[in-house]
Chain A
Amino acid sequence: MQRRSFFLTLCLTSLLAAAGCGQVTYIVQQYDGPVRDRDEVSILRLAPGDPAQIIAMDGDALGRQDLESDVRVHIEMLPGKHQLEVENPHAASKTTQRVQFIAEPGRTYRVVLADREWHAKKSAPSRADAWSPLVYELDGSSDELVREVSLPPNGS
């Protein structure tokens, strides 16, 4: 697949301070060509306080995501299979882990860093790694996690 690199650099402090309004959604178009309708794309939502640092999507490097408290980012992508490379800045070692998922049109997703405590809360089997990135479908309006959509490692 043709790759298109973009660099997401979010230093929006001054911009948002000037705006002085409520939550601002910053949209990044992660596909070629003209803007598509909402029901033709999928959204990966990055919200303030997300510990996950998404380093790359489908091989395209992303910049650091240091979001202000009233900023969120929507990465708009075409539906289909995507791969994310994720870092956990709070982890003892800066390892990068990959997670794949299939994005459905019109749906919104979020990356969650799951540690053993998380797995315990969710009554899910703990994974061997100290942490692992998971992709969840979100309820777009309430931000509630609806269901995990990560593909199994090396899954197709």
Chain B
Amino acid sequence: MDEFQEIVIGRSSDLDMVLVEEMVSRRHARISLQGGVVSIEDMGSTNGTFVNGEKIQHATLQEGDRVLIGTSILKLVAIPNEPSSSRRPDLVANRRVTMRRSGAPPTEAPRMSGSLEEIPLPDLMQLFGTSKKTGVLVLKTDQRVGRIYFREGRIYYCSVENQPEIPPIKAAYRMLTWKTGFFALDPPDATEFENEISVSAQEVLMEGFRQMDELENLRSRLPPFGSRLILRAPLEAPLHELEPTHLEVLQTALNSANLQALMDRTETTDLETSKIVLDLIRRGYIKAG
């Protein structure tokens, strides 16, 4: 982009950047460069413009910011300005979500895939939520595979492979911490789940990030995740005086190899479990063994 240049994005064929898809308004958003500052403005679109997962009317963009319009994600990158070494901002090729056909019959919809470094999970969730997608978002990191099941943009199930004990909403919050790896949107899955949920991507993102922040603050007070939690002897107070949720966590702790296993097995979220563990330690019921 050059100074004072404007790029209008939308579905209309006479625009600077044309995105032909239902979710994009005819004139959707405007990006401009002025005084070295890149800004974006939503032009009253129906489905909104999102910067790094947040719906905006107007925002200043930084290098690396991701803009979601319809089902396309734009990324702002600085490229060297020839012949000097100064860098000027530019928008990288419009679709960062790659479309590829994996030997499927020509009639089958193309599969959406990419890397989580390029398009982090929050953006993907936002994207599939706003575009009311139905399918299974499969995430693969070095050691883990996770699945988020979408039905018309709402999340109805989440799972982490080989850890069926993790409740779906907890699995979703866990996956939000995955920063590297690959994703693919698989076709809808006919599997029926007993413990289906129904939450919007936005709800999961907001609550998930709140919990991650709070959990981070608690982490230094928790025992190491590899440590075993054992009963204190003698107990300060009898178990029957414990609140049911506390008793449940305590009992699961006694049955778990370590704190990480406890986190995996409890019905409560990692944040709630951490709070209860800290409370049980404070009240003299358990200690790290």
Give the B-binding residues of A (Cβ under 8 A): 1-2, 31-33, 37, 39-40, 78-81, 102-106, 149, 156
Which 5 pairs between the two chains have the least Cβ-Cβ distance?
A80-B251, A102-B240, A156-B244, A78-B254, A39-B233
Q: Does B235 sit at the interface, judged by CB under 8 A?
A: yes
- Report chain A residues within 8 Å CB of B257: 33
Q: Does B255 sit at the interface, judged by CB under 8 A?
A: yes
With contact pairs A2-B265, A39-B233, A105-B235 given, residues A80 and B244 touching in the complex (Cβ less than 8 Å)? no
- Report chain B residues within 8 Å CB of A81: 247-248, 251
Report the separation of the CA atoms of residues A151 and B247 in the bound assembly, to the nearest whole angstrom: 14
- Report chain A residues within 8 Å CB of B254: 31, 78-80
Q: Does B137 sit at the interface, judged by CB under 8 A?
A: no
A105 and B231 contact, CB distance less than 8 A: yes
Chain B residue, CB-CB nearest to A37:
B233
Interface of B is mostly: helix
Q: Does B230 sit at the interface, judged by CB under 8 A?
A: yes
- Report chain B residues within 8 Å CB of A105: 231, 233, 235, 239
Give me 8 A-to-B residue pairs in the complex whose CB atoms sit less than 8 angstroms apart, sorted by A's number.
A2-B265, A32-B255, A78-B255, A79-B231, A104-B235, A105-B231, A105-B233, A106-B234
Report the separation of the CA atoms of residues A156 and B250 in the bound assembly, to the nearest whole angstrom: 15
Interface of A is mostly: loop
A1 and B235 contact, CB distance less than 8 A: no
- Report chain B residues within 8 Å CB of A104: 235, 238-240
Report the separation of the CA atoms of residues A80 and B254 in the bound assembly, to the nearest whole angstrom: 9
Report the separation of the CA atoms of residues A103 and B238 in the bound assembly, to the nearest whole angstrom: 9
Report the separation of the CA atoms of residues A2 and B248 in the bound assembly, to the nearest whole angstrom: 13
**Distance in Å: Cβ of B253 to nearest Cβ of chain A:** 10
Chain A residue, CB-CB nearest to B238:
A104
B265 and A40 contact, CB distance less than 8 A: no
Task: Name B255's contact: one of A1, A39, A103 (CB within 8 Å).
Answer: A1
- Report chain B residues within 8 Å CB of A39: 233-234
With contact pairs A102-B239, A104-B235, A104-B239 given, residues A2 and B230 touching in the complex (Cβ less than 8 Å)? no
